[in-house]
Structures are given as C-alpha cells and as structure tokens.
Structure 1
Amino acid sequence: MTEQRPLEQVEFAHTRDQLTKAWGLTAQEVERYEILMRGPRGAFSVTNISPIEVLGIHAETPAERQHYADRFVRLLYEDTERVLAFERATQAAWRRLGKPMFEAARLPGASAPLSSNRDQLWGKRLALFVATQDCPRCAKSARELVDLVADGGPLSGLDIYAVDTQDPDAIRTFARDVGVLPGAVSDRRVTLNQGKALFQQYDGDDRGLPQVFVRDGTQLRPLDTVAGALR
C-alpha cells in the first residue's frame, strides 16, 4: 500500500525541490539555507533574499565566499541579459505595431509637474533617462536617486534608461559606477534598460539629459529638476 504523507511534508519537499532546481543548490546547501533563515538572517533580511546571497553571507571561508559571489554574479548577468533582450523585443514591437508608447495628452508638458516634496513621492517609482558617457549630470542624478531606492528610502523603485548605447556591458558599468547594488537589480527595485527608442517616442533631445519622471498609474509626470528634487 502506498504510504500517505501529511500535506505539510509534501509541500516542504516541493519547496526544497524548487530551491534545488531554481538556484542549482545541493541538498546540503538547501538544508543550510533553511537553517540560516530560521535564525537571525531570516529576521534581518528582506523576505526575497536569494539562497545564494544567504549562503555567501554566511560562508565559512574566503574561498567559499568567493564561490558564492561568482555564482551570484553569473545568475545576475544571465538575468540582466534576459531583461535587456525582452526590452529590445518590446521596443521592436512598439515600432512594428506603429503604436505610440504613451498617449499624447500624457506626454511631458501635458501633465503638471509633481511637487518636489519628498513625502508626496513616497512609494512612487521613477523613470530616469541618462547618457552613460560624457554626462556628469546624469551620473550625479542617478547616484542621488539610487540612494533613495535603498531600504527605507522613499521611492519604491527606479527604472534607468540609457539613451546613448545598446551595449549591455556599458549599461552595467554605468549602473555599477553610480552605486546600483546587485541585490537591487535582482529584486527589481532598480531595472537597467536600453532607452533610445523609448526616449525618441516622446522627446529625443538628449541635450536635455538627464530627464526624470514619476510613474503615476499610466502617466509619467516630469519633475521640475532632477538633482536635489527630492531633498
């Protein structure tokens, strides 16, 4: 007769199987991760921290720490490639279908700028258009906004659009230089995107970079200024 297992055991086994397949973990790594998450790490960390990060943070030797760091970076690289590939496909779809990215009435200038009062922007997500090269103002503004997306910051997220390059390495380098952390990318608080086609949908004048907008439902509302706008 087939042994009947309690539902809790079935669900627990299913979760372990998912961890093993999704993150490439061994049974021993899954067990150590679960033990760590039942301790202080589970209380201190965000709920969506990855098993690789947990194991790396609690590595017992420098070699083990480097091993998990290498695995984590490879996973982030692969995910960034997928995100950028989908962004390229999305932009191509907009061009192929001949649809405007935004309704004309909702383009910059048609919506009143939001107040620069920090409290009114709590929980909002920003879209920032930058040039990755020869634009000190872009880097400065990106650093300020990245800081505001950190844990405890007022912003829920930041979508960075590079308008001067389609090179994923150049976009990643810019992000690293302005302080974007791998964890912020993995949990989608910050996204890195090719933005030239999108930028041309409603502006296209890169002499005015950086440009920052607040996502407000289906609208993008421009801020009066970027640097210091949320102070």
Structure 2
Amino acid sequence: MKQHHIIPALFILLTSSLAHGTETLTADNLPTRERPMTSERTDEQHARGWGLSAEEWARYRTLMRGPLGIYSPNLDPLTALGIEARSDQERRRYAELQVEAEAHRVEKLLAYQRAYDHAWQQLHGDMPRVILPDAGPAFSPVTPAANGRVAVFVKDACVACDQTTLWLQAAGMEFDIYVVDSRADDAHIRAWAQRIGIDPANVRSGQITLNHDSGRWLSLGLQGDLPAVVRQVGGQWQRQP
C-alpha cells in the first residue's frame, strides 16, 4: 500500500550581483566597523532564543571551540553550559531553562501532530498509518486508548523492549505499541515488528497496534527507562510494574 507523508517545502532565496560591474557588498567586504555590529545583533538574537545573556552565549561559543565541541559537536547551548557549570546555582539555572525549552518544544510538536492527525482523518481516514505485510487494513489509533488497553513505549535496539512486547503478545493482551525512535518512518516500525516477531494477524484484528511515538512518551512525564508499559488509572497514566 502506498504510504502518504507530509513533505515540508524548502524555499531557497537566490541573490545575484548587479550588472555592469557594480560592486556587491558581502559580509567579507563590508566596512570593518559594520561587521561586529551585525555579528553582535545575531549573537543577541540567538541568546534571547535560549533565554541566555550575551555573555552566556559568548561562553557557549567558547566552550564549543574546545574539547566539549569536539566530543559533542551538536550540543545545544543549555546542555553545554549545564555540563560546564561553574556552580550549583548555574547548573540549576540551565537545567530549569532546558526543562522549560523542552516542554515548549514538545507542546508545539504535539500541537502539530494533532493537526496532522486531523488532516489525515479528513483526507485519508480509511487508510492505515502503519501496517505489517498481510496484516490488512488495521488502523493504528493516534492516542493511547482509555478502555483498559495498555500502551507500550519501546525503542529499537532494546532487548528488554523486544522481550516485553513478545511477552504481552504471548499473554494475549490487547495493547498499543509506540516506537519512540521511529523518526516518523513507517518502514522503520515495520522492520522492527517483523524482526521481533509481531504476528500480522494480531495487527489485522486490532489486538495490537503499531504507532509512531511523536513525543507522547515525553508528554506523559513518567520516570524510568524503556520499555514502559502504562495504563490509564483514574484519568492518570501510570507505569505498570
């Protein structure tokens, strides 16, 4: 079955020099007194985006030019500054900023996921999200069911995740699987399910569903490593032993 995906548009801005020998000013040939001002404004914008001062942003840039940047070249400013904090007070500050930033990121991600789910239902509501070969048109729900089913959060390359999932299947449980590191790739989930031995018949009947996590695990705010078997109890999602 053909899979449908939303592909973001990429807009490329093209610039060209004026004809007849007119000089084009670039960052390299601007008067030297203007370059620091432009750079300073850019640094201030970056700093504000992370809730940091200009001095903190400058320290982050310095840290990333040292060993920390070599070992972890893609480290975000809050993590870098938190790792290299010079006091407990600094460490707490960066941890709190990062919790707020992550919560905001997940909130935006889930808001977009809800919009995507709504669009999918309107445009392709009769089509499955993720299915196994020969599983038939079993639709995977977009949120964990509140009817006694359990939700199982797993990740690839996790032996305990595989064992827990197969134990639940062998016990005849009805459950919804959420693959945390699926990267919204249906083929990734199918390959994982086939590798560990998920029965297509269970997917076809709806006893087991396969879903992208899309930030749901973070949104639950539960502690501990994966796998996680959770159930809704009294309106609250609780981790099961």
Q: TM-score, normalised by structure 1?
A: 0.48
* Structure showing the higher helix proportion among its residues: 1
Please say which structure displays the higher CA radius of gyration: 2
